[in-house]
Structure 1
Amino acid sequence: MSMRRLAATGLAAAALLILTACASGAGGASPAGSWGEEPGPNVTISDDGTVVGSDGCNRLTGKGTIDGDRIEFGDLAQTRMACAEGTDVVEPWATSAAVDGNALILFDEAGQEIRRLPRIEREG
């Protein structure tokens, strides 16, 4: 193989690695998007960290801080309605979450996993 062809192959391989790294993003997928079940626990996270959703019964809203594939929820406002017996509720709500493939993993204050919410695919 000629030196020129070897150099071109090396440059092409380096470019492919760079493009792959850019496409996957540092730290993996962003938590921005919609997660959970409707009805049931669900959350929609905007690119700016705005959070709206439900613990399965009560509505929640607020702002979080996104860092790569993670979000720290911060203080969220929640309604305090009486829920029907047997309602699937995540209470207390998570303090943070991270993306794992097509799921958002919710964590408590101690960093323990409390729930996995599947990605909600929206049409349109």
Structure 2
Amino acid sequence: MVVRLHRVAGATLLLAAAALLASCADSPGASVPSVEGSWGDVSDSSAPSLDFAAGGRVSGTDGCNRLMGHWTQDGATVILIDMASTMMYCQEIDTWLSAAATAEIDGETLALFNENGDPIGTLQR
């Protein structure tokens, strides 16, 4: 009886370990890097860039106007929330980044999309 209980307990433990390993392998975003950090050239205020801080704050520039708001990440998808921008007149500057609503991480590239899901540009890490 004791040997049988040990076998059942051992089999149960083995199944539980296998299930735990399988759930880790299938975890969404397990191999997707965090968006945290800088994208674009943050040292050049005339170039588009975003800085994603721990805790969900995002700030940056579209090359003219300052951008700020919050972010969340689900796998490779980043959602920009409550984005605000200064409204300076920007002659000869494409302010495409101010229209960003979501982003997708693809390696060292951050592809940005407007609220309709249309691609509007990319930033490099």
The alignment's TM-score, normalised by the length of structure 1, stands at: 0.68
Q: Which amino acid aligns with 2:35?
A: P
Partner of 2:95: helix, strand, or coil? coil
Quick one: which of 10, 32, 54 aligns to 1:28?
32
CA distance in 1, matches of 2:57, 2:73: 10
Partner of 1:80: helix, strand, or coil? coil
**What percentage of aligned pairs have identical amino acids?**
42
Deviation at 1:91, TM superposition (A): 5.2
2:48·2:61 contact (CA, 8 Å) conserved in 1? Answer: yes
Counterpart residue number, 1:50: 57
Partner of 1:34: helix, strand, or coil? strand
Structure with higher Rg: it is: 2
Which structure carries more helix by proportion?
Answer: 2
Relative contact order (alpha carbons < 8 A, sep ≥ 6): 1 or 2 greater?
Answer: 1
Deviation at 1:88, TM superposition (A): 3.5
Counterpart residue number, 2:82: 75
* Structure 1 residues 32-70: Cα deviation after superposition (integer angstroms, max 9, x where no partner): 110113231100001322100011110011112122222
CA distance in 2, matches of 1:91, 1:64: 15
Pair 1:110-2:116 in alignment? yes
The alignment's TM-score, normalised by the length of structure 2, stands at: 0.68
Pair 1:101-2:123 in alignment? no
What residue ranges of structure 2 are gaps of 5+ in the alignment?
A: 1-20
What residue ranges of structure 1 are gaps of 5+ in the alignment?
A: 1-16, 120-124
CA distance in 2, matches of 1:74, 1:27: 24
Aligned length: 99
CA distance in 1, matches of 2:76, 2:36: 9
Q: Which amino acid aligns with 1:29?
A: P
